[in-house]
């Protein structure tokens, strides 16, 4: 049996993703026994105290989490089921295990308004320049935006944006600058957050987690 520390173990909490014609549903489950590296006994899905029927031959996805590494997912086939005393399933892994990117650093593609502020020295005076920009992606670690100011790597800026009606403000450092061909913007800028409240970062991570889950339910990842 595999000794891989990222492998599943008895008693571990997992999620079963069951795909239907319209969408996928995600149900909590648990590893009850491990027969081999590819065959597991898991608790069957239950929703509102009602058994969610899975049948021999059905295909599901299994999702589990490794702390500080992210979420892992693989496809499995139902080999057998039992629901006399405890509803449980025997499943066989039918695909490679692959890692969904760590939520904090998963760059979620999103176009949203971003207000960028940067300080510009003009002679002996300093001015704070405000520019309306559009994001390209977002993570708990930073953001990529499109703008018209030609920044240099190392520039310090502040970004302000809103997710789920929550206002986020973060100090960032420019780490990438690329000229682009766009009707409204001239540059694509990568920004690492270097000053952000813990609760703001957590709000971003939660937002990305929910969006990632929606993609799983839609069968897009």
Shared domain for 36 and 59, answered yes or no, is yes
pLDDT digits (tens, 9 = 90+) for 130-155: 999 999 999 888 999 999 999 999 99
Where a domain ends, among 84, 100, 116? Answer: 100
Which residue did the predictor score with more confidence, 20 or 108? 108
Shared domain for 96 and 121, answered yes or no, is no
Query: Per the structure, how many domains does the chain have?
Result: 2
Q: What mean pLDDT is predicted for residues 158-164?
A: 94
- The domain that holds 73 is classified in CATH as 2.30.110.10
- The domain that holds 186 is classified in CATH as 2.40.10.220
Shared domain for 81 and 152, answered yes or no, is no
Where a domain ends, among 100, 132, 160? Answer: 100
Distances (CA, A) of 150 to 110, 205, 213: 22, 29, 36
Shared domain for 77 and 33, answered yes or no, is yes
Distance of CA 107 to the CA centre of its chain: 8
Shared domain for 116 and 177, answered yes or no, is yes
Shared domain for 82 and 134, answered yes or no, is no
Instruction: Tell me whether residue 221 is in a domain.
Output: no
Where a domain ends, among 59, 80, 100? Answer: 100
Which residue did the predictor score with more confidence, 120 or 21? 120
Tell me the residue range of the domain where 78 lies.
13-100
Instruction: Tell me whether residue 214 is in a domain.
Output: no
Distance of CA 69 to the CA centre of its chain: 12
Instruction: Tell me whether residue 219 is in a domain.
Output: no
Instruction: Tell me whether residue 2 is in a domain.
Output: no
Shared domain for 159 and 198, answered yes or no, is yes
- The three state secondary structure string of the chain is CCCCCCCCCCCCEEEEEEECCCCEEEEEEEEEEECCCCEEEEECCEECCEECCCCCCCEEEEEEEECCCEEEEEEEEEEEEECCCCCEEEEEECCCCEEECCCCCCCEECCCEEEEEEEEEECCEEEEEEEEEEEEEECCCEEEEEECCCCCCCCEEEEEEEECCEEEEEEEEEEEEEECCCCCCCEEEEEEEEECCHHHHHHHHHHHHHHHHHHHHCCCC
Shared domain for 57 and 112, answered yes or no, is no
pLDDT digits (tens, 9 = 90+) for 66-83: 766 677 889 999 999 998
Instruction: Tell me whether residue 49 is in a domain.
Output: yes
Q: Which two tokens stand for residue 78?
A: 């139902």
pLDDT of residue 1: 42
Per-chain mean pLDDT for the chain:
87
Question: How far apart are alpha carbons 166 and 146 in whole angstroms?
Answer: 21
pLDDT digits (tens, 9 = 90+) for 25-50: 888 999 999 999 899 999 999 888 88
Asked whether the predicted pLDDT for residue 101 surpasses 90, the reply is: no
- Taking CA 74 as the corner, what is the angle to CA 72 and CA 80, rounded to the nearest 5 degrees? 130
Q: Which two tokens stand for residue 129?
A: 């320049």
Q: Which two tokens stand for residue 59?
A: 């295909």
Instruction: Tell me whether residue 215 is in a domain.
Output: no
Shared domain for 112 and 91, answered yes or no, is no
Phi-psi region of 220 (alpha: psi -120 to 50; beta: other; left: phi over 0): alpha
Q: Which of 27-31, 86-90, 129-133, 204-208 has the lowest mean pLDDT?
A: 204-208
Shared domain for 86 and 55, answered yes or no, is yes
Q: Which of 17-31, 92-106, 181-195 has the lowest mean pLDDT?
A: 92-106
Instruction: Tell me whether residue 8 is in a domain.
Output: no
pLDDT of residue 2: 43
Shared domain for 70 and 137, answered yes or no, is no
């Amino acid at each position: 049996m595999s000794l891989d520390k990222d492998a599943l173990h008895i008693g571990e909490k997992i999620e079963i993703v069951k795909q239907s014609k319209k969408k996928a549903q995600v149900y909590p489950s648990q590893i009850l026994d491990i027969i081999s590296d590819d065959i597991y006994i898991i608790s069957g899905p239950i929703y509102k105290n009602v058994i969610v029927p899975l049948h021999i031959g059905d295909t599901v996805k299994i999702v589990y989490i490794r702390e500080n590494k992210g979420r892992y997912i693989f496809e499995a086939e139902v080999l057998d089921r039992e629901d006399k005393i405890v509803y449980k399933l025997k499943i066989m892994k039918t695909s490679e295990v692959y890692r969904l990117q760590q939520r904090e650093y998963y760059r979620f593609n999103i176009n949203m308004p971003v207000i960028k502020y940067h300080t510009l020295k003009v002679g002996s005076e300093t001015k704070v320049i405000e520019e309306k920009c559009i994001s390209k992606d977002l993570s708990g670690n930073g953001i990529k935006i499109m703008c018209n100011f030609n920044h240099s790597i190392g520039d310090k800026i502040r970004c302000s944006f809103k997710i789920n009606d929550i206002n986020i403000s973060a100090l960032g450092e420019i780490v990438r600058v690329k000229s682009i061909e766009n009707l409204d913007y001239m540059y694509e800028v990568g920004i690492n957050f270097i000053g952000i409240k813990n609760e703001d970062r957590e709000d971003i991570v939660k937002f990305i987690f929910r969006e990632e889950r929606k993609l799983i339910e839609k069968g897009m990842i």
